[in-house]
Amino acid sequence: MDFSLLNNTFKVKWLIVFLKNSNSIWHAFPSYLFNLIGGIDFLLKCNFSIDKIPFRLANFHKQALLAWLLVYKHNVSPHRYYIWNNKDILHKRNSLFYCSWYDNGILLVCQLLNKNGVLMSYSELIQKFKITITPKEYVVISNAIPAGSLLFLKNCNLAETNSFGSRQIFIGDINIQDKPCSNRHIRNALNFTTLQQDNILAGEMMPLALSHCYETSLLCLPSQVSFWNRMATLVNKTNCANKWCVSSTLYQNRCLRQTKT
């Protein structure tokens, strides 16, 4: 029996039970704690880092969130790039959460951009959302959003989507808020993630798109990154129609030497 796999399964199961019964007296303390950053249902969908959460977590909660990161496929996209609990949007090395903004439906970075894809000014933001926003909050948020993220979002189609209020959280093909999720399903999802990583490292699996870069003594592994966080350093301003030109690929390849036996 793989104890680590079993332990992670139980931790994820606890999160699911907590998610569905957050008002239970047995979950009073974690509910109070996680409500400070939007609640557990919102946190689980965010691109969070445990070390960047702005308060100290109990070791059990840290382990549960680490297990969640193993089983949940967090597909970061412009339409789901949250401002809050985002490991890329930091102030004093911590992720951000403003309750007044969250309660008024300000969740995504793309909501802070004007029609030209540029970050709104303080007056534009107040005029659009018609809520009380202090100058300090605006300065903190505007300085915390990486320049590369703004550059990426500027060149995306940011039409209104239904993902703003989406409450769906999937493990595999099961929406855990609507359907039962058994320990077997969680264990299979965890096991699939582990096997997939092991097989890629062993050279047994390789995407067809990368087959052209395979050589006898060299194995190229894709390392998908939130490249827009770092894109500002990879962009050069050219004289070509005064537009920004990206001079790098969208994915960073990490090459490993294959050990010869």
| CA dist., res. 15 & res. 22, Å (int) | 10
The average confidence (pLDDT) of the chain is 77
Res 73: pLDDT: 79
Place of tokens 């993220």: 149
Secondary structure (3-state) at 252: strand
Q: What is the mean pLDDT of residues 62-66?
A: 96
Q: Of the spans 122-136, 178-192, 203-217, which averages the highest pLDDT? A: 122-136
CB atoms within 10 A of CB 131: 13
For the stretch 12-54, pLDDT in tens is: 999 999 999 999 999 999 999 999 999 999 999 999 999 999 9
Confidence of residue 156 (pLDDT cuts 50, 70, 90): confident
Average pLDDT over residues 127-141: 95
- CA proximity to 153, closest of 109, 102, 105: 109
3-state secondary structure of 65: helix
Which ranges constitute the DSSP H helices of 135-259? 135-144, 147-154, 183-201
pLDDT, average across residues 75-94:
89
Query: What CA–CA distance (Å, rounded) separates 239 from 226?
Result: 27
Tokens linked to 143? 């300085």
Distance between CA atoms of 39 and 20, rounded to whole angstroms? 12
Residues with Cβ within 8 Å of 165's Cβ and at least 6 positions away in sequence, in order, are 105
Q: Within 13 Å and on the Cβ side, how many CA atoms surround 227?
A: 14
Three-state secondary structure call for residue 94: strand
pLDDT for the residue 149: 87
Instruction: Give the pLDDT score at 227.
Output: 53
What the block records as the tokens of 77 is 């996209």
141 Cβ neighbours under 8 A, 6+ residues apart: 83, 89, 96, 98, 112
DSSP-assigned beta bridge partners for residue 170: 175
Q: Is the pLDDT of residue 139 over 60?
A: yes
- Residue 89 confidence class, pLDDT cut points 50, 70, 90: very high
Q: In this predicted structure, what is the pLDDT of residue 91?
A: 96
Q: Could you tell me the pLDDT band of residue 172, with boundaries at 50, 70 and 90?
A: confident
- The pLDDT, as a whole number, for residue 193 is 64
Question: What is the C-alpha to C-alpha distance for residues 116 and 99, in angstroms, rounded to an integer?
Answer: 27
Residue 191: predicted pLDDT: 85
pLDDT band, very low/low/confident/very high, at 154 (cuts 50, 70, 90)? confident
**pLDDT category, 178, cuts 50, 70, 90?**
confident
229 Cβ contact partners less than 8 Å away, ≥ 6 residues apart: 88, 146, 148, 149
What does the pLDDT read at residue 251?
34
Q: Name the nearest CA neighbour of 154 among 78, 251, 230.
A: 78
Q: What is the CA radius of gyration of the chain?
A: 21
What residues pair up with 215 in beta bridges, in sequence order? 218
pLDDT digits (tens, 9 = 90+) for 205-251: 444 433 333 333 333 333 334 555 655 545 444 444 444 333 333 33
Give the length of the chain. Answer: 261
Residue whose token pair is 């691109």: 47
Cα 61 to Cα 232: distance, rounded to the nearest angstrom: 35
Share of the chain above pLDDT 70, in %: 69
